[in-house]
Amino acid sequence: MADIVEPKRARGGRTQRREARAGSQAVHRPYIVRGIPTYDILSDESLTRIEATADRILAEIGIELRDDHPTMELYRAAGAEVTAESDRVWRVKFPPGMLREILASAPPVFTQHARNPAANVLIGGPNVVFAPSYGSPFVMDMDRGRRYGTIEDFQNFVKLSQASPWLHHSGGTVCEPTDVPVNKRHLDMVYAHLRYSDRGFLGSITAPERAADSIDMARVVFGEAFVDQNCVVMGNFNTTSPLVIDGVTAAGIRTYAAANQGSIHLPFLLGGAVAPLTIAGMVAQGLAESMASCAIAQLTRKGAPTILASFFSSMSLRTGSPTFGTPEPAIGSLAMGQLARRLNMPLRCAGNFATSKLPDGQAMQQSMMSMMSAIQGGANYVLHSAGFLDGLLSMSYEKHVLDTDMCGALHAYMDGMAVDDDALAFEALAELGPGKHLFSTQHTLRHYETAYWESEINDDRPFETWSEQGGLDSAQRANARWKKTLAEFQAPPMDVALDDALKDFIARKKSTMQDMWY
């Protein structure tokens, strides 16, 4: 069921052999099945204390719900204490244990179906799905610098993600296409995901009607009956921290859940600003907010695909600026992994976060700190796996390439280590005996092409060779890589009738609206 990426054109000699090996490795797995255990950082006693604090937040302080009367009624009917603070604002308090009981109906593992069935992903359990970054208003590359994103940039990032064997999902708002009216750009974004990728994707969440449009476009491609029974699109929803769920978010969650589509429920917590600056306090608040948000999906349609989520960030307390890729939030992600497993729910957390303004050493150091917390903590869906720069304000072409290469290394890391007769390789040592190198042994000859993951970006040659051939750094190599990838990109095939139906849907929708630029 795997799609094999064709090897790059050979240039002869060592380069030919190296590129052939890289090509043989580049088999697109639809998702990773974890071969290593998660890292449990907290004791049961500590986890119980965090859960008790989350329950206390929900019971004594509560969640403020704004501008969505149907969600208020869902909460009240389920047993929450609802107090009206105005005609459009309610304080909702949840008895301890209530939300856990509601969330018991959320599936621990579910399938998001892709346009190409070989690219379906399993989300939850031991499965890990990588998706590109999300939400940046700016894009940047080494040639044109930092600028507002356009629909062409958006399409380019969808293509780059589709071309990488190390990503599994097309993502959502990979950058804001600011050259398209605000009220219409969701149509062009969903079309780009459906046309230039054959993987799963995220739809719009900026208004309930845009969420409905995203689902309707999926129905055009997958069929209405199939969509009613299967997840084919998801929405990524943020609470308004601290402890607020606004009406647009609540109505959007209900729209996706009513259609049996997936939803991700993410508090974006900045320590010291909208959350306690202590990690334990931040985790307790994040758990409370995400559970309250997840419950809306289950109260709308029991069994709707639902993902618990967290986004933790520290802050420079001298300047007030967010700091990404720091160690304390990484610890928080590890704790969230344990809490999600206790709830038996899929988890989204962390990613390749960086506040660096360039695809440099700082960027990759911060990214690795954050990304490894998702890998070790047991995240099932990792948004922001590629392209995140400038504190999420910018989507970087070069960083996308560097990050996807890192994702390739993480595939090998999460495979773990086989321990069988062949892997223990006794015969490799016995064949020639002491004092002889192993280059020519049968074991080496059988495995040398596939024994190790090999980067397509790193330059591991001797200094002299590297210097003689231009002395390019990793960002410069990534710059050449993304240009080559886009030049050679071929969109996955789509039936002409489906393509025409999508274009017709978009044209009809756009004709009913005046352009809005705010």
pLDDT tens digits for range 300-339: 999 999 999 999 999 888 888 889 999 999 999 999 999 9
Axis-axis angle for helices 151-163, 474-488 (nearest 10) = 100
Q: Could you list the beta-strand ranges (E) of 154-233.
A: none
pLDDT of residue 13: 41
Listed residue (111, 139, 126) closest to 232, CA to CA: 111
Query: Is residue 133 within 8 Å of residue 350, measured between CB atoms?
Result: no
Whether 18 shows a pLDDT value over 50: the answer reads no
pLDDT tens-digit readout, 244-293: 999 999 999 999 999 999 999 999 999 999 999 999 999 999 999 999 99
Residue 77: both structure tokens together: 């009917």
**How large is the average pLDDT for residues 161-183?**
98
Listed residue (154, 156, 193) closest to 177, CA to CA: 154
Where do we find the tokens 């330059």? 459
More confident residue, 276 or 2: 276
**How large is the average pLDDT for residues 366-394?**
97
Query: Which of 108-112, 198-202, 372-376, 514-518 is predicted with the least confidence, judged by mean pLDDT?
Result: 514-518
Query: Which of 21-30, 61-70, 108-117, 180-189 is predicted with the least confidence, judged by mean pLDDT?
Result: 21-30
Query: Is residue 349 within 8 Å of residue 380, measured between CB atoms?
Result: no
pLDDT of residue 316: 85
Query: Which of 90-104, 308-322, 347-361, 458-472 is predicted with the least confidence, judged by mean pLDDT?
Result: 308-322
pLDDT of residue 317: 80
- Average pLDDT of the residues of the chain: 94
Percent of the chain surpassing pLDDT 70: 95
pLDDT of residue 27: 58
Percent of the chain surpassing pLDDT 90: 93
Whether 17 shows a pLDDT value over 70: the answer reads no
pLDDT tens-digit readout, 124-157: 999 999 999 999 999 999 999 999 999 999 999 9
pLDDT tens-digit readout, 36-76: 999 999 999 999 999 999 999 999 999 999 999 999 999 99
**Phi, psi at residue 486, to the nearest 5°?**
-65, -40
Whether 241 shows a pLDDT value over 80: the answer reads yes
Distances (CA, A) of 239 to 118, 170, 242, 305, 325: 33, 23, 8, 18, 22
pLDDT of residue 9: 33
**How large is the average pLDDT for residues 408-427?**
97
Whether 22 shows a pLDDT value over 70: the answer reads no
Which residues, at least 6 apart from 49, have a Cβ–Cβ distance to it below 8 Å? none
